[in-house]
Amino acid sequence: MTATPVPKSPPPPPARPKPAAVKRHHWIVRLTHWLTFVVLAGMIMSGLQIYTAYARFGERDGPSYVNAFEGHGFPHWSRLGGWLAGGLNWHFALMWPLIAGGVVYLSYLVVSGEWRSLLFRPRDIRGAIEMQKYYLRLRKDHPPQGKHNPLQKLAYTFIILLGVLSVLTGFAVYKPTQFSWLTALFGGFQGARYWHFWAVWIFTGFLIVHVILVFVVDPASLRAMISGWYRGRFPSHD
């Protein structure tokens, strides 16, 4: 039996083993993610250019929809296209890669079965409440999770639906006569314009929160969205 020398000070904690890299995002997901980011930025900026031509929502002589931006154009740096025709041409060109990216991405989710780790379902409600408690510090330990926690699933499900809504309201504004049934669904041409505009601010809000959470909670996820490999706190996959 050999006596181990008693250290004078507590030993340094063993170096945390470097987390194993797990494959996180298929190249289709990474490609469509960044494509959507860039194209959506162009869509929003050309959309602000188009909005400037008639900066309110409501029929001529009719009541206005509630709109904080009524009567205001947007600053020059935030607009794309230079004038109305330029804004329209950008908007109607970028709509193709936006829709194509969305279709490819959603098809991938379905074919690969990845939708299971993204779609928020009723059984996720309980987990979402636990996760919310953790963020509100009513619970100390991070609830166990798969690829995404239930609140992330809620956010990603919501943003996909918002994307679908943007495309549908877009078509309702683009062809209000050919798709008159769709336009009527959104409350008519002006209603469709209004909800199409709202999507801009929800996307913008989502983007801000999304980026903050990436850097505050899980910076490794940014690298994963670029390289596909994840070395972070939440390596398990459901």
Partner 1 sequence: MIDRRAFLRLAAGAGPASLAAACGWDGGNAVRPLLLDVSRLNDWVGEKILFSQHRLAPQYDIAQRATRLPSYFISPMMPVLRDPNAWRLQVGGLVRQPLTLSIDDLQAMPRTTYTVKHHCVEGWSAIATWHGVALSAVAARCGMLPQARYVRFDSFDSGYSNGWDLASAMHPQTILAYGMNDNPLPASHGAPLRLYSPTKLGYKMTKYLVSVTFTAERPGGYWEDQGYPWFAGV
Binding site for partner 1 (CB under 8 A): 35, 38-39, 41-42, 45-46, 49-51, 53-54, 59-62, 76-86, 88-90, 92-94, 96-97, 174-180, 184, 189-190, 193
Residue closer to partner 1, measured from CB, 90 or 234? 90
Least Å from the CB of residue 143 to partner 1: 37
Q: How far is the CB of 89 from partner 1 (least distance, A)?
A: 4
* Cβ nearer to partner 1, comparing 87 with 150: 87
- Distance from C-alpha of 168 to C-alpha of 183, rounded to nearest angstrom: 9
CB of 92 to partner 1, least distance (A): 5
The token pair that represents 49 in the structure block? 């250019």
Residues 118, 149: contact at Cβ < 8 Å?
no
Q: How many C-alpha atoms does 25 have within 13 Å on its Cβ side?
A: 22
Rounded to a whole number of angstroms, the minimum distance from the CB of residue 197 to partner 1 is 10
When the beta carbons of 38 and 111 are compared against partner 1, the nearer one is 38
Query: 139: Cβ–Cβ under 8 A, 6 or more apart, which residues?
Result: 130, 133
Main-chain phi, psi angles of 80, to 5 degrees: -125, 130
CB of 199 to partner 1, least distance (A): 16
Residue 144 amino acid letter: P
Of 49 and 166, nearer to partner 1 (C-beta) is 49
Q: Whole-angstrom Cα distance, residue 56 to residue 71?
A: 6
Are the CB atoms for 49 and 81 separated by under 8 Å? yes
Which one, 52 or 227, has the nearer CB to partner 1?
Answer: 52
